[in-house]
Amino acid sequence: PYGAISWPFIKQAVRQILFYAGHNIFSSYYSDLMEVEHFRTIYHMFVAALCVFFISTVAVNFIDQGRLVLELDLLFYSFGQLGTVTWSWIFLFGFTLFVPYATVHYWGSLYPKSKHPYLMSVCLASIYGICNICAMGVFPIYIVLHYKLPPASSFIVTLEQVRLLMKSHSFLRETVESVVQKKKQLPKLSSYLYFLFCPCLIYRDSYPRTPYIRWSYVAKNFAQFLACVFFIYFVLVTLCIPVFTNMSKEPLSMRTLVLSIFHSTLPGNDVMHVHFADHILCLFALLLNAFAEMLRFGDRMFYKDWWNSKSFSNYYRTWNVVVHDWLQYYVYRDILWLFNRRFREGAKLAAFMVSAIAHEYSLTLSLGFFYPVLFFVFNFALNDNRKSPLWNVLLWTFLFIGQAIQLCLYCQEWYAQIHCPLTEVCILCYS
């Protein structure tokens, strides 16, 4: 009926109320929407598009080379050196698991007995900070640069570095109060280990759990995740690489740049469609849902209805609730507490900047050059008070064009680095 409040809106409101008290059991938008037949039709359209890309690629290879072989050279290159990625991840995970946990328990055992607890705390925090910088800061950068990891493998290392840093920071922040108040009950290692794997960045001693694991649901999520990876691969191979491989060899002019941007609109739109799909279909929702199901993690509101946003600021807040919760807890609210609840706009800007810097850091290390296109996109926001559907159309228009511009500029720079290699290496060479 007209004027009725939708179930997703009620879920958002209830979760916002329970957010400060703790987590609760919520199903994801993906699970709710897949119960609607009209949405399943949209999902089937993405499956059909993947089939079309697959048939097209096989047909082109058969006509050009006379063999029915699917070329996956780019995919294997992007995920190369997985052995190096694996042992470096084991080191990062082991450090994150044992060092923060041991630090908290050692601090908790000394703090009540110490005659100078604050001096002891500062010394212990300094030692931990130095170890953390070396192991979680310098080590991943060294691995990526020394072994010259390809893009996808570099993304795995850098994103895991950022994720584990956020997890350990949350664990330390949430346990400080227990130590300072001299509570005897400190976190258990099993609780911290569960937290490191569960799809959440806010540490709690316990989380709401579902009664059982649906292994068929887990397998379905991983299968669709792989299908979406192949979808992106086919978009790049079919629509992007042929355009930009030869373009970087030609003299660059304003006409060439503008035409390449508009030529990138189609693949950019396809990537944007995958961006829409990965939050309600695959790369984001399905991966987190798979791990949540295996761990019986109950709170699965990993995103809100970002596709209905009428401003970029609301879009950034709703497309990734997991990261938004962390930024709200440990950046926005901490800055408000530090300045006695003043400078709200400054605290909001700081949260956006932290997120933008983390994304730009991952892109710079993974691609091998500093090209802050995404950084400036993060700082473009519209007024939150827009109500007309026209603003949602405008936002989607900017998203489509923005994806095309980013795709064009990053691909151009990638091939420029290949065709015009640097003769001298310096700090400014990455810009």
pLDDT in tens, 142-188: 999 999 999 889 999 999 999 999 999 999 999 888 877 776 678 89
* Helices and strands: H and E segment counts in the chain: 20, 0
Select from 166, 195, 154, 176 the least CA-distant residue to 366.
Answer: 154
Tell me the mean pLDDT in the region 359-386: 72
Residue 118 has pLDDT above 60, yes or no: yes
Instruction: Give the model's confidence band at 266: pLDDT under 50 very low, under 70 low, under 90 confident, else very high.
Output: low
Tell me the mean pLDDT in the region 28-42: 77
pTM here is 0.83
pLDDT in tens, 228-263: 788 778 777 777 777 777 666 666 666 666 666 666
Q: Which residue has the higher pLDDT, 340 or 158?
A: 158
Distances (CA, A) of 322 to 134, 285, 303: 27, 11, 7
CB 406 within 8 A of CB 367: no
How much is the pLDDT for 20? 43
Domain coordinates in residue numbering, the chain: 81-207
CB 72 within 8 A of CB 230: no
How much is the pLDDT for 92? 96
Active-site annotation holder among 105, 116, 359, 419? 359
Residue 388 has pLDDT above 80, yes or no: no
The mean of the pLDDT values for the chain is 79
Residue 16 has pLDDT above 80, yes or no: no
How much is the pLDDT for 202? 92
Q: Which of 89-98, 140-149, 246-255, 374-383 has the lowest mean pLDDT?
A: 374-383
How much is the pLDDT for 7? 46
Share of the chain above pLDDT 70, in %: 77
How much is the pLDDT for 283? 66
pLDDT in tens, 285-298: 778 888 999 999 98
Annotated catalytic residue 23? no
CB 354 within 8 A of CB 379: no
Q: Report the C-alpha gap between 11 and 248 in whole angstroms.
A: 49
DSSP labels, 108-137: HHHTTT-SSHHHHHHHHHHHHHHHHIIIII
DSSP lists the bridge partners of residue 209 as 297
